[in-house]
Amino acid sequence: MRYLRLLSFCFTAPGIALAAQACPAPEAIPAATGPAPGQTLPSPLAQPGVSRLSPDEITASPALARIASQGATLYGLASHHGLRAVFATNGSQFRVFYLTPDSQAEIGGVMWDAEGRNVTREQVAPIAGTIPTIHWTPKATPASGSASPAVSDDVDPFGRLETASFGIEGRSGAPRVYMIVDPLCPFSTRAMATLQGYVSAGRLQLAIVPIAINDYENNGASTPAAIDMLSAGQQGMGNAWREISALGHARPGQVVADTAGAQLKLNLNAAHAIGVTGTPTLVWRDKTGVSHRSAGLPTDLEALLASLPS
């Protein structure tokens, strides 16, 4: 069994349509500070109200016994709405389960209350390593489809993304536009489809920067999809993304590059540094050398293209 990390970067309430043409992060994309793949999540026992389940408790519940049989360590959390919460960890991965009253079955996922409050996130947030610990308030966020210059005098968005891991689409020598995407964000996919004609015509070179901000909404599928893209290499990343988009998840059976997890963290940190608040985000330099950033596709793509160096 695979434990899905609940790093909830997208906190839109279920059933509410997104007004902006981008998949938003809740406050801002946090720097990636959690455990790296292969590292062990710190013990949650330091958190009040968390207790490790005893072998007798686990044996007495067929549902808990099933989870523990996969190598997970189980901890009890507070009960909500008549369901006992269980925190299962396996190395750097974790998941929250809710145990049915008869202890015969478990429900894996996220609990929302009647007011739209994310109960599960509030339960795990105090546990070290489960939620990124950096709290950051971005400067004014541009409306979707609007462009803005660099958000900080100290960080040049275009220059910062030059050090990220990205895929290349388009002819060599064409003016480059970076596009930060969540591979399973529908707005990212639509933006790619819209820009493909300009790429094919040689009017721009698209540098695709995968990050993962939509894990919460898709049950943890964005992170493995982004790692799948990064494992495909610079020239293969675009085609990998098209296959992933068609499947709706990472491609099964693909070999994961040893460096992909670290590359994803570096991309998240780059997105955080330049003030990205959702995907897709476009970054480019104009003819005068000034960097610009757009949350979602600009409303006037021709104006963007005309501003690019020839």
Given a contact cutoff of 8 angstroms between Cβ atoms, the answer to whether 88 and 72 are in contact is yes
- H or E, element range at 210: strand 205-210
For the segment 228-256, what is each residue's pLDDT rounded down to a tens digit?
A: 999 999 999 999 999 999 999 999 988 99
Q: How far apart are CA 77 and CA 222, in angstroms?
A: 27
Give the pLDDT band (50/70/90) at residue 124: confident
The residues spanned by each domain of the chain are: 35-124, 147-307
149 pairs with which residues across the strands?
A: 292
| Average of per-residue pLDDT across 153-168 | 90
pLDDT at position 137, please?
Answer: 34
pLDDT at 92: 59
Q: Which pLDDT belongs to residue 20?
A: 41
* CATH number of this structure's domain 35-124: 3.10.450.70
Comparing 1-15, 154-168, 205-219, the range with the smallest average pLDDT is 1-15
- For 147-307, the fitting CATH number among 3.40.50.11540, 3.40.30.10, 3.40.50.620, 3.20.20.70 is 3.40.30.10
Residues 8 and 118 sit within 8 Å (Cβ to Cβ)? yes
Answer whether 305's CB lies under 8 Å from 203's CB: yes
Q: Across the chain, what does the average pLDDT equal?
A: 78
State the pLDDT at residue 48.
65
- Asked if the model's pLDDT at residue 217 lies above 90, the reply is no
CA 221 – CA 245 distance, rounded (Å): 11
- DSSP letter, residue 289: S
**Closest alpha carbon to 74 in 24, 90, 41, 206:** 90
